[in-house]
Structure 1
Amino acid sequence: MSTQSPSFLYRLGRSSAAHPWRVLGAWVLVLATVSTLSWAFGAPMRDDWDVPGARAQQGIDTLREHGVGGYASARVIVHDGSGEPLATAEVGRLTDRLLDLEHVASVSPPRLSEDGDTAILTVEYDQPVTHPDLMANTEPLEGAIAPTIDTGLQVELGGDLPDTAGEPIGGTGEIVGVVFALLILVIALGSAVGAGLPIGIAIAGLAGGSAGIGLLAATMAVSPSAPMVASMVGLGVGIDYALLLVTRHVENLRLGLSPIEAAARAVATSGRSVVLAAVTVLVSLMGLRLAGLTTYDAFGLATAIAVVFVATAALTLVPALCRLGGRKLLPRRVRRGRPERTTQPLTGRWAARVGRTPLPWALASLGVLLVLAAPVLDMHTWPSDASNQPADNTTRQAYDIVAEEYGPGTNGPVTVVVPTADGVTDEVVSTLASDDRIAAVAPAVVTPDGELAIVTAEPTFGPTDQRTSALVSDLRQALPDGAEVTGWTPFFSDISEMLQQRLWVVIAFVVGVSVLLLGVMFRSVLVPLKAAAMNLLSISAAYGVLVAVFQWGWGSDLLGVDRSMPLSSWMPILMFAILFGLSMDYEVFLLSRIREDYLRTGDPRGSVVRGLSATGRVITSAAAIMMVVFLGFASEGDVVVKQLGLGMAVAILLDATLVRMVLVPATMSLLGHWNWWLPAWLDRLLPTVRVEAELEEEPADERELVGV
């Protein structure tokens, strides 16, 4: 026996495998407890769209203080497709029904188009759009417009309240991901039992994570979209972590170890990689808090809860279920006593080939990534609006009718709030009217208390146009002091600008902390810096692909997108934080095995080949599963979900192919022993956290493989 005490992870794996039914029972108890607490004390998901740092928020708050706006609104578009003028009586009856709805403060007089076949009714509410009675709830509006639709008129809903309903998430991503993941795992592991195990563990972890998110919603505003993102990430990493452990367990079984000892050693080695990989994901998610928006805080915390649950499930349930699975986890060929193939795995042969001529391979892969990343220089971001929805969506129909009948700028008006005491209302109207980018200026409206004048202007272009941000900025400089440019269009412009600036803060934090963690893990200077650079390259390339598909329209029809559009402002930061953590997962998995081999052999090039041989199938299978999961989400109707799903799928594809299979072996072969260089002073300064576990020598009576 070794005189060294067993590691905590070794003891955890051995205990879980020795008492599998206790572990299963404990998990049932934990899930039942968390679910009960969530049911009793949890709260519904809700958004908080107030952004104190946005300048337009000041004008919104001012309107609310005077009770004349700043709350939820909706547009009811009535259109006669035959081109006949609308009947005044029917529009009047519709107005009366809208006024009777709960929380409705006012309904504007109908604004008729020039030919009279279209009318806009603006419904103002007395609560913010995030109020539980209003958020995503269009049923009252649909009930009010139904009689008008029955007369043969077309009635569509637009504005910020109907926009919150968006496209329903049908759960296609999870279903498609689970089905294809099962097929990939059967091929990778050669065992139906082994294939089902990672999926079952990921689902168990997600069940606990979902309940935990419900409890989180009782303490803060959690966006209804947050559980979807948490499920997307949790399902992917949960399967990855479980697959890594199961693969190492099966390797140990083939060496002749008992199921208990095989599980203990799998958790002691690969389990340590799981812990460190999960930590890097959590660090990346915590970087979302630096974005400055409450919504991102909720996204980060919700996804972190899911990651913690699935990682804990992998470390405890895998050894327990592997013990119960026994020899059924082995491929059928091995169970039947047939000789195994002894040829070197394809990934090992590939790594050796790249290692023989590393420079050309490194330059070629680098060139491909840079070409794919080039479109990012033209990236334009804007919060998703109705113009991006599918053509049959009512908000998109309303948007298109308004743009055709009244002009594109009517979909993105700009509101200017002016204190009447300043006596500059006429100057504001004159300044707006003199700007060539303004198509129309409505007469100033004075609030009932006489303290504010409200002026509404409509640009000559739609809100997603790249000129919108410049227009908002120029108006703020040109208008007199005291005038506040506000409304949803300036508000979205402020958010987009804020997020572009904050993206670099998030990147600096996530990259800096991740590099420090990898330096501690692998006792190296160059390995973490190289890993960060490669991750940034693959993520930039994914951004570039998104720009080409959505902004330039290349192949967008394959995703059911019928027009070019900017990328959602919410997407770059969210996508970066998630992808950087996931990419570091694969980096930790691969480098852990390479370093184990290097410390044992001292061979820098051979360790890369052998490390990639040992983990290549796991990483490839895990990446394929994640790609399927993310592409499943790209099939959803909501365009933000499409962008996020496609971007993450592309990034994972590039990471698993060009980065892990080409750049990593090529650069590590070029650097040789320098990969593991660490100055003595820095070695003394950094805390020691060993990735490669010291494996305990098992008792003699456990040497024989048992089939329990």
Structure 2
Amino acid sequence: MDRFSGFVLRHRLLVSLVWLVAACAGAFAALNVPDRLVENFAPPGSAARDANAAIVSAYGTGGDAKPLIPVVTLPAGTTANTPAVRGDLGAAFAAAGKRLDGRVVSYADTGDARFTGDGGRVVYGLVYPKVDPGASQFDEGPDPAGPVTEAMRPLLPPGATLRVTSVDGLADEAGSDGPSVLTETVIGGVGALVVLVFVFGSVLAVVPLLIAVVSILTSFLLVYALTGVTDVNFMVEFVVALIGLGVAIDYSLLLVTRWREERARGLSTEDATRRAMATAGRAVVFSAAAVAIGLTAMIVVPVAFMRSVAYGGVIIPAVSALVTLTLLPVLLVTAGPALDRIAPRWRGDGARAGRAWTGWARRVVRYRVVAAVAALAVLGGLASATLGLNLGEADSRALAKSGAAYDGLADLRGAGVPSGVLTPVDVLLPRGADPDATATKLRSLDAVQAVVAPSGPAWRRDGSALVTVLPVDEGGTDAGKDLVHAIRDAVPPGAQVGGETANDIDFVAKVYGTFPLMLTLVCLLTFVLLARAFRSLLLALKAVLLNLLSLAAVLGAIVLVWQRGNGSDLFWGISATGSIASFVPAMVVAFLYGLSMDYEVFILARLREEYDRTGSTETAVVAGLGRTGRLVTSAALILFLAFASLAAAPVVEVKIFATGLGLGILLDATVVRALLVPAAVSLFGRWNWWLPGWAARVLRVRPSPLPAREEEDRVPIPV
């Protein structure tokens, strides 16, 4: 690292110019990359994805595109059975289908009373808009509810009311006021600046932000290039901007803090920079590697959208580390002292450990058993809620609380119509299959509201046929998923079952079927990395196990906050979702595994350094946490602010994802790193530092023999 630092400082002008050009090109990429992103979550090769593609190809409607549900409330004294009323309803629904060039089914053309409610006074139907298979799902088109209303209203009986609901409409009404990615990044940046000003107490606070800006823009440049090679999911935009903001500042904060500490000890600016690179810079390298390893699970999972998000996740820590280790030393040597000249009294000189954190560390060491038990109780209690995790689409009641779509759903529910009709299941029958016989068989299944198999050209074409099943329960519920399984078992050979619920089922099977193996691989790689970094088997093993416990606690917190609604309504105005989007747990685990390891590396690297200097575990814990406690807390707060900003995104799934990351960072920086880690290190004593000769040879580092029994209380603890 010293030779690398020397190279960077000798070529400081070249380094500066390279990053300036990269940032300028990245600014162009950041403006244009949104148009190149896609929104495709279904795993390739899955039965549901193939079914949806076949349905859209043959009929131009349906697939995983959800239908609109027009809900008509007739005037008092009339019902759908009234001959004139039924004719008007038929004309109105037909007009809606013609307006959207789609297919329609309702009471008017089936005579099925299950398309009515409240004794026939409330009537609903399904309108499937035409789907353009070549259009990007990420591009927002015009709201089809408006044209449906315009087409139907003039043809309805006088005095009838019309409201159009749908899952997409409810989601749009729930998230219509969210800020853009740029706005969220700016909000996160302002919050980070406030924290940095408090930490540094000087203009030096802008340096980590500058590093973050260069890192984010350069990462967008690489993402832009990546879109020319493969499909990249729209969530990469959030990942690069918000996680990039937090990670780049974290790395910069670690290096700048150590630089100030070395200068306070009397080293020259350049020597302090080299020393900071040799210590904190090394921790940055291992931290970035840990983040990349954590995302390995997403890269090897055979799902394109997760792989593309993982590429973005790997790019941002790698670029942030590279910018931190090249551009930041140049800035510190050339402008650091001048920027750090303003020094209010409360700032401190950087040479001493924080008094508050040193005192806290002493208490944790003194009451190590109590601290460990308390931390494990908190994490274990949260982790237990993970057992109730339900993956799938959010409950419709968790979406909008006002608007036309919400009112339409309320009319349906008030009339006794189950909300499962919002998530119908399409079955594509091959040539030769009998749609009427299939429909009869499917009607016999439990939890079925209605089954339709119309004979018009929008439902039967070129020998194939469509049968649509309206469930009683929504697709995100266990009952809704069980029904899809039952449909798959009941349909004739060659039939294909589509819809979003089937997509979710296949996604879970494909991702989580191999995820335990992938997570095991990640843990093994991380163990090797940390064992080499800390020259200790126990510290590496403890870091991996505590990380897994922390992740389980985060997933449990997501279940409590979102799935069960203990806080989601208070903070975001969203009721209990009843389920969690299938991709969220996998992405939270992949990102948090690496991000939370940042703080493990920051703390344990300093503890190892202090132990090598003093030979005392107690001294290492107290002095190490005293030095890094404020740093880790500040870094975690900055990353939390970035995720809090991301939680304001207009998409519920993104809110849940951001909340999981934010809660994970807070839990990790407080309960885990500030309480459980120092308590555990103190409990294990001299065994923390053991690296036998055979392991040292494998890892290619010098061994660390088991120390003699320590006399902790006789070793002075520097402050």
**Residue of 418, 438, 458 corresponding to 2:429:** 418
What's the CA shift for 1:330? 5.3
Unaligned runs of 5+ residues in structure 2 are: 79-84, 109-114, 155-159, 705-719
The change in CA–CA distance for 1:249 and 1:135 in structure 2 (over 3 A counts) is: closer
Counterparts of 1:460 and 1:147, CA distance in 2: 29
Structure 2 residue matching 1:416: 3-state secondary structure? strand
1:409 is aligned to 420
Say if 2:167 is the partner of 1:175: no
Cα distance change on mapping 1:98 and 1:563 into 2, 3 Å: same
CA distance in 1, matches of 2:162, 2:491: 40
Aligned pairs (5 A) from 1:141-156: 141=144, 144-145=147-148, 147=150, 154-156=162-164
Look up the equivalent residue of 2:581 and give its one-letter code.
S
What is the CA distance between 1:234 and its match in structure 2? 0.8
Write the mapping of 1:32-51 to structure 2, written as runs, cut at 5 A: 32-35=24-27, 44-51=36-43
Q: Alignment identity in percent?
A: 29
Partner residue in 1 for 2:711: none
Whole-angstrom distance in 1 between the partners of 2:345 and 2:500: 64
2:381 equivalent to 1:371: yes
1:325-344 equivalences under 5 Å are: 325-329=336-340, 332-333=343-344
Q: Residues 571-622 of structure 1: CA distance to partner in whole angstroms, max 9, x if unpaired?
A: 1010011101011111111111111122222222211211111111110110
Distance 1:397 1:314 in 2: 52
In the alignment, what sits opposite 2:21? 29
Partner of 2:534: 522
Residues in 1 aligned to 2:56 and 2:625: alpha-carbon distance in whole angstroms: 60
Q: CA deviation at 1:99?
A: 4.4
Q: How does 1:465-476 map to 2 (within 5 A)?
A: 465-476=477-488
The aligned amino acid for 1:188 is V
- Report the AA paired with residue 45 of structure 1: L
- Kindly indicate whether the alpha-carbon contact (under 8 Å) linking 1:189 and 1:195 is maintained by their aligned counterparts in 2: yes
CA distance in 2, matches of 1:201, 1:353: 36
Q: 2:549 aligns with which of 537, 540, 543?
A: 537
**Local SS of the residue matching 1:636:** coil
2:609 is equivalent to residue 596 of structure 1: yes
Once residues 228 and 174 of structure 2 are traced to their aligned partners in structure 1, the CA distance between those partners, rounded to angstroms, is 24
Secondary structure at 2:476 match in 1? coil
Counterpart-to-counterpart distance in 2, 1:109 and 1:430: 17
In 2 relative to 1, CA 146–242 (structure 1 residues): closer, same or farther, beyond 3 Å?
farther
Partner of 1:220 in structure 2? 230
For residue 127 of structure 1, the aligned residue among 128, 132, 135 is 132
Which of 145, 155, 166 is the matching residue for 1:158? Answer: 166
Q: Is the 8 A contact 1:108 1:122 kept in 2?
A: yes
Report SS of the residue matched to 1:417.
strand
CA deviation profile, 1:307-356 (whole Å, cap 9, x unmatched): 222222222232222231315425614799x9899686222222222222
State the SS of the aligned residue for 1:624: helix
Equivalent residue, structure 2, for 1:453: 465
Quote the offset at 1:12 in angstroms.
4.6
Compared CA separation, residues 227 and 642, structure 1 to 2 (3 A): same
The CA deviation string for residues 178-237 of structure 1, in whole angstroms up to 9 with x for no partner, is 22221211222222x122221221122112212322222222111222211222211111
SS in 1 for 2:630: helix
Query: What is residue 707 of structure 2 aligned with on the other side?
Result: none
Determine the C-alpha separation between the residues in 2 that align with 1:677 and 1:548.
40
Equivalent in the alignment of 1:11: 6
Paired with 1:428 and 1:147, the residues of 2 have a C-alpha distance of 35
Summarize the Cα distance change of 1:109–1:343 in structure 2 as closer, same or farther, 3 Å threshold. closer
1:55 to 47, 58, 73: 47
CA distance in 1, matches of 2:280, 2:139: 44
1:135–1:164 CA contact under 8 A, matched in 2 = no
CA contact (8 A) 1:284 1:510 kept: yes
d(CA) in 1 for partners of 2:528, 2:461: 58
Matching residue of 1:243: 253
CA distance 1:154–1:218, shift in 2 (3 Å): farther
Find the counterpart in structure 1 of residue 81 from structure 2: none
Aligned to 1:703: none
Name the aligned partner's letter for residue 529 of structure 1. L
Please tell me whether residue 665 in structure 1 is matched to residue 668 in structure 2: no
Q: Within the alignment, does 1:185 sit opposite 2:170 as a pair?
A: no
Which residue number corresponds to residue 704 of structure 1? Answer: none
Q: Residues 47 and 531 (structure 1 numbering): CA distance in 2 closer, same or farther, change over 3 Å? A: same
Contact 1:389 1:395 in 2 (8 A): no
Report the counterpart of residue 241 of structure 2 in structure 1.
231
Q: 1:108 aligns with which of 94, 104, 108?
A: 104
Structure 1 residues without counterparts, runs of 5 or longer: 1-5, 692-708
Q: 1:139 aligns to what?
A: 142
What pairs with 1:217-616 in structure 2 (closer than 5 Å)? Answer: 217-322=227-332, 323-329=334-340, 332-333=343-344, 345-384=355-394, 388-392=398-402, 399-401=409-411, 406-421=417-432, 425=435, 427-443=437-453, 445=455, 448-565=460-577, 566-616=579-629
Alignment length (residue pairs): 675
Q: 2: CA distance between counterparts of 1:58 and 1:340?
A: 61
Instruction: Tell me the CA shift for residue 690 of structure 1.
Output: 12
Say if 1:156 and 1:395, in contact at 8 Å, map to a contact too: yes
Q: TM-score, normalised by structure 1?
A: 0.86
Deviation at 1:389, TM superposition (A): 2.7
Give yes or no for contact 1:137–1:162 (8 Å, CA) kept in 2.
Answer: no
Shift of 1:121: 5.3
State the 1:375 CA deviation: 1.0
Check whether the contact 1:409–1:463 (CA below 8 A) recurs between aligned residues.
yes
Could you list the per-position Cα deviations for residues 628-649 of structure 1 after superposition, in whole angstroms to 9, with x for gaps in the alignment? 2212222333211221122112
The reply on whether 1:632 has 2:645 as its aligned counterpart is yes
Q: Deviations over 1:417-457 (max 9, x none)?
A: 3334355x555333322223112121365865553233222
Comparing 463-472 and 445-454, the one that deviates more? 445-454
Which segment is superposed worse, 245-254 or 163-172?
163-172
Give the alignment's Cα RMSD to 1 decimal.
3.5
- Seen in structure 2, the aligned counterparts of structure 1 residues 32 and 341 have a Cα distance that, compared at 3 Å, is closer
Is the 8 Å Cα contact of residues 26 and 220 (structure 2) preserved in structure 1? no
Range with bigger deviation, 576-585 or 625-634: 625-634
Q: Given residue 528 of structure 1, which amino acid in structure 2 is its aligned partner?
A: A
SS in structure 2 opposite 1:439?
A: strand
Which residue does 1:702 correspond to in 2?
none
Distance 1:165 1:79, change over 3 A: closer
What SS does the aligned partner of 1:615 have? Answer: helix
Question: In 2, distance between residues paired with 1:232 and 1:69?
Answer: 36
Per the alignment, in what secondary structure is the counterpart of residue 391 of structure 1? coil
Q: Is structure 2 residue 217 aligned with structure 1 residue 203?
A: no
Q: CA deviation at 1:651?
A: 1.2
1:348-398 deviation digits (Å, cap 9, x = unpaired): 222222222322221121111101221111111114576543324666555
Q: How far apart are the structure 2 equivalents of 1:39 and 1:357?
A: 53
Following TM superposition, by how much is the alpha carbon of 1:246 offset from its aligned partner in structure 2, in angstroms? Answer: 0.9
* Secondary structure, aligned partner of 2:559: helix
SS of structure 2 residue aligned to 1:462: coil
Higher mean C-alpha displacement, 242-251 vs 172-181: 172-181
1:680 pairs, out of 693, 698, 713, with 693
